[in-house]
Amino acid sequence: MAIKTVTNFLDQEMDVVEYTRIEHHSVDSRITMQVTVEALYDLGFSAERFEEIITHLDSWGNKTRGEAPDEEEIQRFHEVYWEGEPEMIDREEDWISDRKGGYDVTYELIEPEVKMTPDSPPCMSDAPAAESEDDIMSDGYPRTFQVPS
pTM: 0.52
Domain that holds residue 147: 115-149
pLDDT at residue 43 above 70? yes
Residues 6+ apart with CB under 8 A from 62: none
Q: With respect to residue 19, please indicate whether it lies within any of the assigned structural domains.
A: no
Spatial CA neighbour of 26 closest among 91, 106, 101, 92: 101
More confident residue, 15 or 132: 15
Residues 41 and 95 in one domain: yes
Q: With respect to residue 131, please indicate whether it lies within any of the assigned structural domains.
A: yes
What is the number of structural domains in the chain?
2
More confident residue, 41 or 83: 41
Spatial CA neighbour of 110 closest among 20, 4, 22, 8: 20
pLDDT at residue 134 above 60? no
Q: With respect to residue 43, please indicate whether it lies within any of the assigned structural domains.
A: yes
pLDDT at residue 72 above 90? yes
Confidence of residue 73 (pLDDT cuts 50, 70, 90): very high
